[in-house]
Structure 1
Amino acid sequence: MATDKHTFVICAYKESVYLEECIKSLKKQKMQSNIIMITSTPNKYIDNLCKNYNIELKVNDGEGGIVQDWNFGYNQAKTPYVTIAHQDDIYFPDYSIRAVKMLEQSKKPLIYFSDYCEVRNGKKVISNQLLKIKRILLFPLRAKALQNSRFVRRRSLSLGSGICCPAVTYAKNNLPNPVFQVRYRSDEDWEAWERISKLKGAFLYDPTIQMGHRIHEESETSIILGDNARNKEDYEMFCKFWPKCIAKILAKLYSKSENSNKMS
């Protein structure tokens, strides 16, 4: 049963108007998984949604923050596979069944991740400049024979992060803990993929669109892009793959490509 294998961990923050839509998308999965919710900002809104949908709520009483909440939620899941679901995003009905199937078929899976679309003003955006670039970066990983290649996935990551964080399911038994480094604010996911890419095992890329990542003005991605907090971390990430002179050029180009994450 999927409930023995897979858990969705919803990371809830304050009172997101999109949280219930995220919950409904997980409840509509063709193969049911465990669903738990974690928060470091407990309130009646979150409590009521958990009661209405019969979801266990766990409160992070320790240090708060996005990365801290992700690591806390990751450790609350007792199944071998866990997906950290962002409260604003939605998952399409086949997500869990495809994730578990691919993970179970792999000898040593590290992460599963699907393609995704954006959700803007309530509408699905299947293709734009940023999505096209990310699909190009991930194209070599369509081949099963290359999913175990450390060289191939590091070459993919060396030009930017094509992997959408909420589209990822983690094979906990094969990964280090914690997965995310607290010192990163914007590239915490890219930094995690870079470390995981060095391990022996498979990056299981599913090129079908299995979730929707919402872009809106109050999303953390939009806020970070707005205050330019990402540029320094982008440069640091590129330095993990390239000489500093090349990393500086790539960081500038990368920041321009990310402008499509802004609403205006």
Structure 2
Amino acid sequence: MNKIIPVLTMLAVIVVLWYAAAVKMNSQWAMDQAARAEVELTFGELVKDTLSQDRPKLPAPHQVVAELWETTVEKKITSKRSLVYHGWITLSATMLGFGIGTVAGIALAVGIVHNKAMDLGVMPWAIASQTIPILAIAPMIIVVLNSMGISGLIPKAIIAAYLSFFPVVVGMVKGLRAPDAMQLDLMKTYNASGGETFWKLRLPSSMPYLFASLKVAVAAALVGTIVAELPSGAVRGLGARLLSGSYYGQTIQIWSALFAAAALAAALVIIVGILEKVVLKRMGMAK
């Protein structure tokens, strides 16, 4: 209970500030409409109008909640207006990209730790790759792949993998190098081979680092997928909902898609956290 109260308090503060900002940002349109109609609005009427506009600058919390309810519960999951439908499209590309990024990140990390040339040659390029803005590289990847006849899920997954592999590389390298000199010397005393040292010492030691990086990577993969859906003119996915909302000035739709994406990211991070507890417990590294 002591942990829930601070969270609820912060949530209440955010909601109050959100309502205040909605009134402030939407009031100008309401006053302009009243001036054209040559009527005066009372403060109560002004507040009511600012919190019920069809296309507000900033939707009120209850408008976003109502849109989320309508597009998740009241719509069939096969409907093109269902956020469940669009969320599944985004999730599919996210998981594929996350899988590719994770495998590539682990493989690169193993090579970097065991090969001095890769450490000196690959790691700087991996770092440099993250300095390129994803908004700049995503359209290039999509155009190139489309010219090769590759479209749909694969381009989005590649961009998701591009964002997700780097946290895995960094975390896994740190984890594989976690054993200290005394532990490595002990393995040499046991006449352990390089493979045995890896499987029995380095890999188990890297697990906490790996799962910490996976939580970052899965969220980054989701961001990459949504970004990939924006420049491609996609008609499916949460990015498509954001895009169509911006085209037609449907700010409530935009905010509902943003909250759906945030909820999806939170769910993925929680799932990785659950897997972390299960794996570490089986390895005797957590209670």
- Place the TM-score, normalised by the shorter chain, in its bin: under 0.3
Structure with more of its chain in helix, by fraction: 2
The structure in which a higher percent of residues are strand is 1
TM-score by length of 2: 0.22
**Rg larger in 1 or in 2?**
2
